[in-house]
Every structure is written in structure tokens, then in C-alpha cells.
Amino acid sequence: FYHLMIAQKKMISTLFKSFSLSLVIISFAALVFFKNLGLFFIFLIVNTIPVFASFPLIYLLGTSFNVATVMTYSISLGLIVDSSFHIIHALKEGYHLNQKKDFYFNTIIVPVMQSSLLLSLCFAFFGLNNFLPIKEFGITLSILIFFGMILDLKVLPTLYLGKKQKEK
């Protein structure tokens, strides 16, 4: 048991480092892609808040930090940033403006919402599994993807458009 606990602590530490490295690489790619420091910080805020917002809820649900749950943070980061890139690109191109609003809604908002809800629901089904690591993996990933969707659809456009208004 002692060696198992030591090994698990080491794996959790390694997965935390993996998450941190993923965040740095994705952040660097976003900075290169956006070429705008303000937009980079909006991207960073919107994509890291789900991680921190999930901690209280996971605590309330009684989920533990183990190899499976810590691994979900790296996975969710990759899934959440994908939607953010699509939304930011569409906002930069002005697809949210009057004559292109339908295009923006139908080709960006609806697919992001549908895919995020479907992923969140599918991972939530893992919560029905009796094996605790799989159960906690599914619940944690479902929560993270759902929080990411909310932030991508509500907070990201608000921060981006608010930033654009200040520049005018």
C-alpha cells in the first residue's frame, strides 16, 4: 500500500507538470496565432477558469484527486481551447456583426454548444461506472467541459467585444 501511494503521488505530480507544460505550449501557440497580448490574456483567462472553478464543485461531490482525475485537466484543456480558437477567429473576422449573425450562430455557436454538451453528457455517463477512478474521471471531465462551454459562449465574446469597445 505504501509503495502504491508513493507511486500515485509521483504520477499526480507528473500529470500536473504535464498540464502545466500543455498550458504553456497552448498559450504560446495562442500568442503567436493572435499576435495580440490583450486577446492572449482573454484566451488564457477563459481557458483556465474552468479548472479553478471545478475545484469547489469536485470537493462538494466528494471526488478525490487521483491519477484519473488529474489527467482530466490536460484532456479538458485541449478540448476547451479548440472552441475558444473557433470563437475568437469568428469574432476577429466580424462574423458576429449584423449581416453575418446567422452565419456566426449556425456555424460557430451551435456546433460549439452541441459538441460540448454531447461530450459533457457522454463523459457524465462514466459516472455510472462502479470503478471509482473511471467514475471520477467521467464526472470531472464532464464538469470541466461544461464549464468551458459556458465560458466560451458567454464570457469570451463579452470580454472580446468589451476589449474592442475600449479600443475605439
How far apart are alpha carbons 129 and 114 in whole angstroms?
24
State the burial class of residue 134 (Cβ atoms within 10 Å of its Cβ: 0-12, 13-18, 19+). middle
> Mean pLDDT, the chain, as a whole number?
87
Per residue in 116-167, pLDDT tens? 999 999 999 999 999 988 998 999 999 999 999 999 999 999 999 886 655 5
Compute, in degrees rounded to 10, the torsion defined by CA atoms 63, 64, 68, 70: 110
pLDDT tens figures, 36-81: 898 999 999 999 999 888 888 888 888 877 777 778 888 888 889 9
CA separation for the pair 70, 19 (Å, rounded): 9
Long-range contact list for 153-157, CB < 8 A, 24+ apart? 153/87, 153/109, 153/112, 153/113, 155/46, 155/49, 156/42, 156/46, 156/84, 156/87, 156/88, 157/87, 157/91, 157/96
For the whole model, what pTM was predicted? 0.84
Q: Between helices 67-92 and 37-61, what is the axis angle to 10°?
A: 150
